[in-house]
Every structure is written in structure tokens, then in C-alpha cells.
Amino acid sequence: MESPINFEQFKSNPITAVAFMAVLTVGYLFYELRSSHEEQLGQQDARIEQLEEKIEKYEDKLDELNQKLIECLRVNNQ
């Protein structure tokens, strides 16, 4: 791949060449950040679903325990 800036252009106008390379670098970093952010979102979505399933399981267990407690209290109050 041929570089868009050759050495002669760099030598004649180094500030413009460095600015161009800085823009390319910032663009690459932005792309990389966005890619890693999307990957993290996918991982977090999977984790959220897993935790929601656990919450539902524990809510069901809590409901069962509450029903048993209510039954025990009714038996003791009679």
C-alpha cells in the first residue's frame, strides 16, 4: 500500500503531514473504541439476561417461603 504522503511532501510541509497523520490516528482510535464498546455492550446484555433469570428464580423461592410462613402463622394462630 502506498502512503498518501511521500517523503518529499513531508519534507516540504511537515506541519500539514503531521496533522494529516494525527487525523488518521484519531480516526483509527475512534473506530477501535467504538468496536470495543459494541463488544462490551454485547457481553453486558448477556450478563443482564443471566442475572434477570436468577432474580426470577429467587423471587419464586421467596414467594414459596412467604406462602409457607403464612401457613405456619395461620396454624399457630388457630
pLDDT in tens, 35-47: 888 888 889 999 9
In a domain, 13, yes or no: yes
* Phi, psi (rounded to 5 degrees) for 5: -120, 120
Does residue 60 belong to any structural domain of this protein? yes
Is residue 24 one of the residues assigned to a domain? Answer: yes
- The predicted model gives 6-26 an average pLDDT of 85
Q: How high is the mean pLDDT of the chain? A: 88
In a domain, 1, yes or no: no
Whether residue 2 is contained in a domain is answered as no
Looking at the 3D structure of the chain, how many domains does it have?
1
Within-domain flag for 63? yes
- Taking residues 48-59, what's their average pLDDT? 96
**Is position 52 within any domain?**
yes
Tell me which residue has cell 432474580: 55
Predicted confidence band of residue 10 (pLDDT cuts 50, 70, 90): confident
14: left (phi over 0), alpha (psi -120 to 50) or beta: alpha
